Amino acid sequence: MSQAPRNVPALLVKLLAEDFTGAVEVSGTPGGTIHLRRGLVIAVDTPNAPSVETLLIRSGRIDEDGWAAAITRRATAAATTTATATATDEVSDLNSVLIDLGLIGQGELEAVCIGAVYDAAFAMALNPAEGWTVHDAAVPPELVTCPGESPRGLADETSRRINALTRSWGSLAELAGARCRPAARIDPALLTARQQAVLLAANGRRTARDIAFFLGCGVYPAMLDITRLRARRLLEWEAPRTTAPPSTARRVAPVERPTDEKATALPRRIRRDRSSEDTGGRDSL
C-alpha cells in the first residue's frame, strides 16, 4: 500500500506520475482549487489572488466591452460545438477567441495565464492547507495555460518567493494583513510605473491583496513593491493592535483594615551633638 502524500506539493508530484486530469480542492483559509491536465498545473483558483479575467480587465489590457464580446462569441461557438468535443476543449477555446478578436496577443495572454498560476499558488501558500480533496471530473476555468506548469517547478518557485520576502521583511502574516498608506512625497520619476500605482492605491484601508485586485497585478509583485516602498519610508502602517479581553473576575469592594487605637506615632529621632560626647578617640560607623 502506497504512503499518502504528506502535503500538497507531494500530492501534485504523485498526480503527475499518474498522468491525472482533474482538480485538487485545497481546504484552508481561504484555500483554493488546483486544476490539472495530464498532471500539469493549468490553473489555480483562490480568493487570495486575482484571476486571469481580473488581471486582464483591471490592468487595462482588455476593456469590459471587449471581454463581453469574447464571452458572447465563445458562448455561441460552444452552443454549436459537436457532441464529440470535450468540456475542456470548449472552455479552453476562450483563449483563441480573445486572440482571434485581436484583443490580446498569444504570447501576452500566455504570460498572464502562467503568471496567474504562480501568483495564486504563492497566495495559497501564505496560509497552511488544512486538507484536500481530489476530483477527477472538474471543469477548469475559462482561461488556462497550455500545456501547463510542472508541479515541482511551481513548488520551488513558491518557496523561493516566500523565502525572499521572509528574508527581506520577516513576518508574512503581518505583511499580508498590513493596511498601508503613503508616508512621504517623492518624485514619481524615481519610481517604477507599478510602484507609482501601488503608492497611489495605498489608502490606509487596502491590504496587498486588495491592491492586487484593484490594480490587476499579482499579490506577490504587490507585496514586493510594498516592502521596497516601506524600506524607502514612502509607505507606513500601524501594527495590528491586540485588545485584551475584559476581565470576568468578580469585583470585590476593598476591605478597610481596622485601626489600632493603641498605635502611636514613632518617636522622633533626635540628633545628638557628637562633639559633646566622649567617643573614646574614635567615631563609630
**Residue range 210-247, pLDDT digits in tens:** 999 999 999 999 999 999 999 999 998 875 554 444 44
Q: Label residue 137 by pLDDT band (50, 70, 90).
A: confident
Kindly tell me if the per-residue pLDDT of 123 is higher than 80: yes
pLDDT given at position 246 = 43
Give the separation between CA 143 and CA 156, rounded to whole angstroms.
24
Is the full-model pTM beyond 0.85?
no
33 forms bridges with which residues in the sheet?
25, 45
pLDDT given at position 91 = 43
Mean of the per-residue pLDDT values of the chain: 83
pLDDT given at position 79 = 76
pLDDT given at position 140 = 87
Average pLDDT over residues 111-128: 96
**Residue range 56-112, pLDDT digits in tens:** 999 999 999 999 999 999 888 777 765 445 544 444 489 999 999 999 999 999 999
pLDDT given at position 5 = 83
pLDDT given at position 253 = 47
Kindly tell me if the per-residue pLDDT of 148 is higher than 90: yes
**Residue range 160-185, pLDDT digits in tens:** 999 999 998 888 988 999 999 998 88
DSSP state of 192: -
Contact predicate 179/207, CB 8 Å: yes
End-to-end, the C-alpha distance of the chain in Å comes to 87
**Residue range 239-269, pLDDT digits in tens:** 555 444 444 444 444 445 454 444 444 444 4
Name the residue with higher pLDDT: 264 or 47.
Answer: 47
Distance of CA 219 to the CA centre of its chain: 6
Closest alpha carbon to 146 in 112, 173, 180: 112
- Which of 41-79 are b and which e, b meaning 16 or more Cβ less than 10 Å from the residue's Cβ? bbbbbbebbbbbbbbbbbeebbeeebbebbeebbeeeee
Give the separation between CA 24 and CA 39, rounded to whole angstroms.
11
